[in-house]
Amino acid sequence: MNTTAIEVKKTQPSGDEKSERLAYFEAPADIYEDSDGISVWLDTPGAAPEGVSVTYESGALSVEASVIPTVSRPQYLLQEYELGHYRRTFRIGIPVDVENITAELNDGELHVRLPKAHAAKARKIAVKS
C-alpha cells in the first residue's frame, strides 16, 4: 500500500504559554469621589505590579492587570474558580489633573487616584451685594 506521509507542523504560541490561555475578567471596583479627586479601587488578586498598566485617554481610565499562574494546568482535585487577567475601563465625566494620576498595588488591591483638575474642584463663590 502506498501511503504518503504528511508532515504535521505544530506551532506553539509565542510568549508565556501559561498566561496566554487565560481569560479576561472585569475586576470589581469601588469608586469614591471627594472634593479633591476620585479614588478607584480594583480587586486584582494574583497580579504583580509589573503586570499592571493604567492609562488615561480622552476621559477614559483603562486598567489592565495580567496574572502569571504559578503552576501550569494542574490536575485539580477541586476547581471553583478560573484564573484570569483583569481589565476594566471607566469613563470619567470630569476634568482630571492627568499629570498627577497615581496608582498603587497592595495585597492584590489596585488603588488609582485621579486628582480633579483645578477648575473641577468646588469653589465657594462669594456673593457680592
Partner 1 sequence: MVTPDFPMMRGVDAWRSTPDFPLTRFFDSVFEDVRPLWAIGAAMQVPPVNLWEEGDNVMLECELPGVKAGDVDIEVSGDQLRLSVKRQERKTDEKNGRWLRRERSVGQFTRTIKLPYELDAEKVEAKLHNGVLTLTMPKAPHHRPHRVKLLK
Written as nine digits, the cell of 9 is 507542523
Cβ neighbours of 97 (radius 10 Å): 16
Helix (H) or strand (E) segment spanning residue 20 = helix 17-20
Measured CA to CA, the distance from residue 110 to residue 120 in angstroms comes to 24
Binding mask 11-30 for partner 1 (x = CB under 8 A): ------------xxxx-xxx
Closest CA to 120 of 29, 28, 36: 36
* Residue selected from 2, 11, 14, 75 as contacting partner 1 according to rule CB under 8 A: 75
1 binds partner 1 (CB under 8 A): no
Work out how close the CB of 13 gets to partner 1 at its nearest, in angstroms, rounded to a whole number. Answer: 17
The distance of closest approach from Cβ of residue 74 to partner 1 in the complex, given in angstroms and rounded to an integer, is 4
CB of 12 to partner 1, least distance (A): 23
**How far is residue 23's CA from residue 67's CA, in Å, rounded to a whole number?**
10
Q: Is 92 in the site for partner 1 (CB under 8 A)?
A: yes
Contact residues toward partner 1 (CB under 8 A) are 23-26, 28-36, 38-39, 41, 43-48, 60, 70-71, 74-82, 84, 87-94, 105, 107-109
